């Protein structure tokens, strides 16, 4: 098991040191393998995995980072609570939002290949994440077992989500991108067991615009048009989808 680094240093990182469960365990700070499987919605064989595995939770306040762009890879993170955005900062200081993450999503998969995180994961709300340490699953010489199959499955799911997000952000019309973004959010809330018709967006309209490659004004205008047409109802960040079918067929 792993413990956090001393608060005298960067508290957002973990110290690579092992500590006995008996000394470090506090049930409020650890997640079981069963909980991780439930978060990822993985229906593999739990009997083929070590049932005593524990994974350290980490609390991240709104505005703080789980990991920074270019930081050495230190493992994957499963979102337990809250919402986050992944941001790439360019040499000129401009930023692009590349993804949004919610409960059950996997963070950090981009860090595996080059041993460094490609983007920065920033909390949009107060969050909890569960760390899956790199030493346990990505070290040389390990054979594939059921737990690693769970990780490969989760990584593949993240890739599928990224492909779907790419299609949304490259729709022909800017206003259509906003409509499809709302549908994508509705599907993700439904996957978490929440209402797909009424939900609150954790991200700002500026973040949505960055993700969809449109301006903030375009996002606001599209939401106003959809609201005027009676397809949705908007109140600040609160969204009610009045007609999912009309939202699906909306072509601007």
d(CA 174, CA 48): 47
Tens of pLDDT along 106-118? Answer: 999 888 778 889 9
**Per DSSP, what are the bridge partners of residue 94?**
none
Specify whether 189 is located in the same domain as 108.
Answer: no
In a shared domain, residues 54 and 153: yes
In which domain, by residue range, is 56 found? 2-165
Q: What pLDDT is recorded for position 4?
A: 39
Q: Please report the pLDDT score of residue 41 as a whole number.
A: 87
The pLDDT of residue 13: 37
Residue 124 shares a structural domain with residue 49: yes
**Cβ neighbours of residue 160 closer than 8 Å, sequence gap 6 or more:** none
Residues 155 and 203 in one domain: no
Residue that terminates a domain, selected from 116, 145, 165: 165
Q: The domain spanning residue 50 has which CATH number?
A: 2.60.120.10
Q: Are 2 and 53 in contact (CB under 8 A)?
A: no
Report d(CA 160, CA 156) in Å as an integer: 6
CATH number of the domain residue 222 falls in? 1.10.10.10
Percent of the chain's residues with pLDDT above 90: 55
d(CA 84, CA 101): 5
pLDDT of residue 12: 38
Segment 242-249 long-range contacts (CB within 8 Å, at least 24 positions apart): 244/183, 244/186, 244/196, 244/197, 247/179, 247/182, 247/183, 248/183
Same domain, 134 and 159: yes
Residues 46 and 123 in one domain: yes
Q: What does the DSSP 8-state code read for residue 44?
A: S
Inter-residue contact 32 to 54 (CB < 8 Å): yes
Q: What pLDDT is recorded for position 115? A: 85
194 and 127 share one domain: no
Which element (helix H / strand E) includes 98?
A: strand 95-101
Q: Which of 81, 73, 82, 37 is nearest to 55 (CA)?
A: 37
What distance in Å separates the CA atoms of residue 5 and residue 15, rounded to the nearest whole number? 5
pLDDT mean by block of 10 residues, the chain; 252 residues: 38 34 59 89 70 87 96 94 94 90 92 86 97 71 63 69 65 86 94 95 96 94 97 97 96 82
Question: 224 with 104, same domain?
Answer: no
Q: Which pLDDT value is given to residue 26?
A: 59
Pair 35, 131 in one domain: yes
| Structural domains in the chain (count) | 2
């Amino acid at each position: 098991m792993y413990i956090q680094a001393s608060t005298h240093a960067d508290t957002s990182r973990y110290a690579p040191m092992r500590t006995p469960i008996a000394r470090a365990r506090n049930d409020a700070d650890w997640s079981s393998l069963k909980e991780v499987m439930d978060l990822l919605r993985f229906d593999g064989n739990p009997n083929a995995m070590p049932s005593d595995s524990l994974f350290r939770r980490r609390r991240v306040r709104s505005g703080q980072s789980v990991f920074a762009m270019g930081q050495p890879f230190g493992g994957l993170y499963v979102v337990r609570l809250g919402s986050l955005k992944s941001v790439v900062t360019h040499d000129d200081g401009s930023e692009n939002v590349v993804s949004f993450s919610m409960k059950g999503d996997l963070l950090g998969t981009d860090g595996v290949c080059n041993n460094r995180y490609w983007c920065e994961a920033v909390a949009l709300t107060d969050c909890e994440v569960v760390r899956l340490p790199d030493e346990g699953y990505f070290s040389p010489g390990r054979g594939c077992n059921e737990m690693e199959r769970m990780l490969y499955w989760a990584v593949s799911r993240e890739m599928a989500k990224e492909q779907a997000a790419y299609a949304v952000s490259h729709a022909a019309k800017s206003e259509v991108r906003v409509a499809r973004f709302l549908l994508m959010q509705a599907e993700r809330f439904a996957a978490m067991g929440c209402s797909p018709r009424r939900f609150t967006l954790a991200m700002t309209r500026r973040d949505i615009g960055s993700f969809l490659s449109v301006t903030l004004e375009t996002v606001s205008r599209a939401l106003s048009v959809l609201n005027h047409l009676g397809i949705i109802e908007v109140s600040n960040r609160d969204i009610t989808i009045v007609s999912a079918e009309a939202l699906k067929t909306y072509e601007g």
